[in-house]
A and B are shown apart, each in its own frame.
Chain A
């Protein structure tokens, strides 16, 4: 089942912060975050595996609340290069692994 992302789109000025949320109605084993620029393939940002786990990547970090089946991606002091569509992908545990992506959040960072 496809995870739900919010907001659908966000416009920032350079230096501002943003939060992108991802929630699922199914129990999650892991949450994966990707960024895709127009016409290109998605680029892996980070994977979160444990409940409450928080990871960071430069000024981009994420949290995963296993009990609430939610994850959030935090972008601080945004840069122009952060523009793109952010997708969360969720995977259930077990042998039948597959990654299901949300509809994406279009982030635009303006000068």
Chain B
């Protein structure tokens, strides 16, 4: 089945540091990938949709300059949390689905997530 790999799994860093998280689709190509954020005991909130070769689509209330998204290839999307502060500490999860022709209505598969802790 479709596999999504996310790296790193955990980051602990000082306030003001920028952190890059990678999301890869391992056995399929993904023209779009999705970035979610989850606070403890809460739901998964969609932050943005990453589009290969074009700008990401951000959800309302998500700062574009704070959360930089790059989708340079069909198998890789990156999320960079710029100048991170303690309030950015959260569980960040990427997701993708196989959209090949002849594969309609495929489920979204999630990476293992990145637990970000800003001191």
* A interface residues, Cβ below 8 angstroms from B: 2, 30, 32, 34, 40-44, 47, 49, 87, 89, 97-104
Contact = CB atoms under 8 A, between A and B. Distances in A.
Interface of B: 6, 32, 34, 42-46, 49, 93, 95, 105, 107-113
Contact of B110 (A2, A42, A100): A42
B49 A87 contact: no
A51 B111 CA distance: 30
Contacts of A101: 43-46
A41 B93 contact: yes
Given A98-B34, A98-B49, A32 B108 contact: yes
B34 A99 contact: yes
B111 A49 contact: no
Nearest to B110: A41
A53 to B, nearest CB: 11
Interface centre among A2, A41, A97 (most CB of B within 10 A): A41
